[in-house]
Structure 1
Amino acid sequence: MNIQKKIWLLAVVVLLIMATIWMSLTFYNQKMQDQYNNILERYLVMNELTSTSQQMVTALNNYLLIPVAENLETIDNSKMQIQEMKEEVADFKNTENELALTSYINLIDSLIETTDRSLVFHSEAGTENARRALNEATYISNYISEMTLTLIDTELKTYDRFYRGIINQSEELNQLGIWVLLLITFLLLLYTYWFSLRITKPVEQLTRAASELSKGRFDLKIEVDSKDEIAFLGKMFEHMRNNINNLISEIQQKAQLENELQQSKLLLKESQLRSLQSQINPHFLFNTLNTVSKKAYLEGSEETSDLLVSVAGLLRYNLKHLDKSMTLYDEVNVLKQYINIQKARFTDRLTFHTEIDQTCLHIEIPGLTLQPIVENAMIHAIEPNEDGGVIWFRVKDEGDRVTVEVEDDGPGMPKDKIQQIIDEEQQHDTMAGHASGIGLSNVVKRLRLFNGCEDVIKIEGNKGNGTKVILHIFKERGVDRDDKVTTG
């Protein structure tokens, strides 16, 4: 039985008990009231009959003195009322008052007959006979009054036992009502206790189970001894406990595997980074030295000295800071040294424009990231063109990231080749053979390892319209972003 049915059962039981008590009391009170009204009606009818008989005699006397229609009408009305009350008195007969009531009714008939005879004598001018009939009617009326008192007294004696019985029954009813009330109260308390126990006991079991679960004890079985919605809730609670217990076991296993995997990834990333860093070849160094030697041959020593300073700084940076993360400020400075060297090589054939947001230069990136991108533009846009070309270098703040753009006005490249460059599996074969030995693929791989995400590069351009390489350097590395998302 569910909780709703139990509540309805309790309400129905209480309602039936209250209805039974109310109907019993109502029936008993109505019965007593009917008996009391019946007795009172007997007294009232006989008393009214006495009063009406005296009124009729008085009206008869007035008529004999002053024979007007109003007095005659009063006599007729009184006779009609006496006739009606006589019929009511006839219904009051019982074994104890039958003789007295019969005489009483005969007196009423005699009073009516005497009154009619007095009216007849008066109409025949028999004043003396009318007066004698009036006196007789007065005598009968007085006798009726006396007999009414006698009958009422007899009725009081007759119903004295009834009155006392009513009083005794009332006292017994009061005592019975008290005992019934006590019994009903006891039964209701007993049923209410049983009813509440059937609800609160399973709830207490669920509460204790929830308390144990809150303490982290997921090994205790949850059992609820009931056959209602709480039992179903207990089963769902037990199912949830099993799921949580299994989930905790899985999480522990996954955490252990994740820890082992993370260690393996760190080792792998370190190995990949060192492998990428080891791919520097001396090709760029040789070209630079050739340029410096030609410049020293063609020009004076002052400009050659500046060029050698740039070369020395560039070599020092490449060899000393390649395995570290550097700020964008350091990368821009070494890029400027690289451009100075290339301008000495290409002279007027090279035009280099910069647009740098100084507020972004504190961002960290892997060492030797910008030079390979610009060098790629040198190889593909400047060297093949006899007239040289233009390279634009931009650093912009894009909110959560800093974008670095390297754009040239070279021959560009088709869409399919751009897709091959973006695709990590194809990059090494298509773009690796650069003068510096660190191709675009190595730059992309290092940025991806450094940022912890794949979205680090975008290449725009069509064949014949130049090329733009866009690098995304996130202000927060991948691990920091994941921690923020988890915390949020």
Structure 2
Amino acid sequence: MSTRKILFIVLPLLLLLNSIISYVLFQSSYRVNESYNTMLTRVLLYQQVDEQVQLQVNYISQYTDQKDSSILLQLNNNEQLSSLQAQLQQQPIDRKLLLGVTSYRNLLSSYMSSENTLMLMLDQDSSLAYVDYYNEIKQLSSFISEESYNLISKELSIYSGLYQTIMLEISDMKQSGIYLLIATTLLSLLLAYWISSLITKPIQQLVSVAEKISHGELTATLPRYSPNSEFYILSDALEQMKMNLMKIMDSDKEALQKDKQLREYEIAVLQNQINPHFLFNSLNVLSKLALIEGAEQTSDLTVTMANLLRYHLRQMDKPVPLRDEVKHAKDYFYIQQTRFRDRVHFIIDIDEEELTTRVPVLTLQPILENIFMHGIEGMESGATITLHIYGDKTYTWIEISDNGSGMDEQTKLNLLNYDSPSEIPLSSEQKKGSTGIGSRNVFRRLQLIYGQQHAVYIDSTIGVGTTIKLRIPKQQELKLTK
């Protein structure tokens, strides 16, 4: 359950509990006030009825003595007494006072009936007929006065006992209210601590993991939360951040590994350049000497060898146009042809527009070298090597094929497995003529430089020959990492 839902449930429950306690206390106080007001209303009614009856009796007494017609008008106006009688009829009666209040109401009704009869007689000016009714009214007024005081006394006595009972209940309710207040306070504190723990504990856990990640400990395990919790989103975001950091670090490691391997390949090339400057100068001397002695073919071969060596001295971190690689391949083939003579033929089929594509140094010559050493070494005649370069809008395709001995599936897989340390085994004679740069190293360099854009395809059959296809992406500027 989310923290928001917990707050929406707990806080209204606490407010409801406090409201119930306040309502119960308020109801107790309201009962006391209500009973007091009811009792006070009845007491005032008894008192007002008694006063009004005595006032009416006084008016009658004055009229019989003075025969004043203005007093008779006041006697006829008994609406206030009728109103008091109506209010008395509406008042609730305590069971303990039911008999007394009923008798009191009957006395008031008898008085008002006798008073009305007396008023009729006074209007007829019968001087003796009203005496009996006058005496009856006086007697009834005396009874009403006495009964009013009795009822008032009983009301106060009953209310005194009820008041004490209610006050005891209020005292108990106050005590219970204090206990409930203490209980709700403790409950509120416990709930506050629980809710704060629900918030602070996950935050502390996430902060701890974030600190570990900031110190490079990317293997730190993130706590798991319910999908309905707000902290699930934070934990998931932190997990995504951790995964992204790991991907970035892996990418950086891979880039560093590529740079390291590329430098290793460059070092391997440089290590195989045995005293290149001395050898280059020596070849120039041999070429001049052969030309002086009339050995033109030897001179041409020496010049070609010097050009080949000069090309090997180029910086490995700078790309070259494919045109230079083709020229270098031709020079290498010329040197090999002096050895194999008519046993091997070199066929070139090149789209001139593709020769502007820039490629790494020493892309073609190592592949040709492997073809001579492993493909056509044992052929007595009819060996053919074909270099076919073509392309489209996106890629330049380099296809090198031979009709040599071919290779089995395992050898082909070894060539395409760049990370394997093994290379095709060379004989001692082959090692003497090899530059030490294998075809697989070429494939690996292309992978490091171009990534997924490059592709290498090998089609080979034992006794038929081998075809190697290189797919090179066309780029306006190629940057090699050194």
After TM superposition, the score normalised by the length of structure 1 is 0.49
Q: Which has the higher contact order (CA 8 A, sep 6+)?
A: 2
